[in-house]
Each structure stands twice: as C-alpha cells, then as structure tokens.
C-alpha cells in the first residue's frame, strides 16, 4: 500500500514538473515569437512547450550517484541538470518580465533568450537521459 502511494506521489510530482516546464516554454515562445515574425506560429509555441515539458520532466529530479570513493568524480548528469534548470528558468523569468513590463529589448536579447532556452532544456534532457541510463 505504502509503495503505491509513494509511486503515485512521484508521478504527480513529475507531471507537475512537466507542466511547469511547459508553462516556461509558453512564456519563452510568446516573447520570442512576438519579437521574431517568422516564429509567430502555433507550432512554434507548441514546440517550446513540448521542449519545456520534456526537459523539466527528465532533467529535474535526476537519480544521483552515490557519494563514496568509487564515485568521487563530478556527476556530469547532476551538473548538467542544475545548469540546464538555471538557464531554462532564467530565460523564462526574463521572458515573463519582458511581457509583463511591456519592454522592447534589442533583437539580440531576444535571440540570446531563445538560445538560452534551447541550451537549458537540451542540458536537462541530456542530463535526465544520462542519469537514467546508469541505473
């Protein structure tokens, strides 16, 4: 009984993380899409949301390596996960700020946010896949 409840709680947590990633992707997509006319499509928004959902689902809450002498090296998956999460959430935060404050930053900042989002979710996806392969 207890195992089933823990498993259900873990599934709820992962679904919530995926929804948070999708919401971040929606904000990044809305900001970038509004500033770059060729990216103003529903498909682009859905792609940004899907990348966020997959990245946050896989990249947050990765299984860690045990702390002992046999595993004294840097855990690449844990490092990629944390760096990717920081990068993705920072770009989402900037996107929300630009939208809410109705700012009009230079186009170079928009491309930087877009690149930061792609890099962040890519790091999360790679980290999540790497951590799950070693199990």
Measured CA to CA, the distance from residue 4 to residue 22 in angstroms comes to 27
Q: Is the model's pTM score more than 0.75?
A: yes
Query: In the prediction, which pLDDT does 75 show?
Result: 81
89-131: per-residue pLDDT in tens?
A: 999 999 999 999 999 999 999 999 999 999 999 999 999 988 8
For residues 81 and 124, the answer to whether their CB atoms sit within 8 Å is: yes
CA distance 9 to 12: 5
Q: Name the residue ranges covered by the structural domains of the chain.
A: 2-67+75-133
Residues 49-87: pLDDT tens digits?
A: 999 999 999 988 777 776 666 666 778 888 899 999 999
pLDDT of residue 110: 97
The stretch 25-49 carries a mean pLDDT of 95
How high is the pLDDT of residue 70?
A: 63
């Amino acid at each position: 009984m207890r195992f089933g409840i823990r498993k259900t709680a873990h599934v709820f947590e992962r679904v919530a993380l995926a929804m948070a990633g999708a919401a971040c992707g929606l904000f990044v997509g809305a900001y970038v899409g509004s500033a770059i006319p060729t990216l103003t499509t529903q498909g682009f928004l859905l792609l940004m949301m899907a990348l966020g959902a997959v990245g946050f689902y896989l990249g947050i809450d990765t299984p860690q390596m045990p702390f002992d002498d046999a595993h004294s090296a840097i855990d690449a998956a844990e490092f990629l996960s944390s760096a990717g999460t920081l990068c993705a959430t920072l770009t989402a935060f900037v996107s929300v700020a630009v939208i809410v404050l109705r700012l009009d930053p230079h186009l170079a900042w928009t491309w930087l946010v877009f690149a930061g989002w792609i890099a962040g979710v890519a790091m999360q996806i790679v980290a999540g896949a790497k951590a799950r392969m070693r199990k």
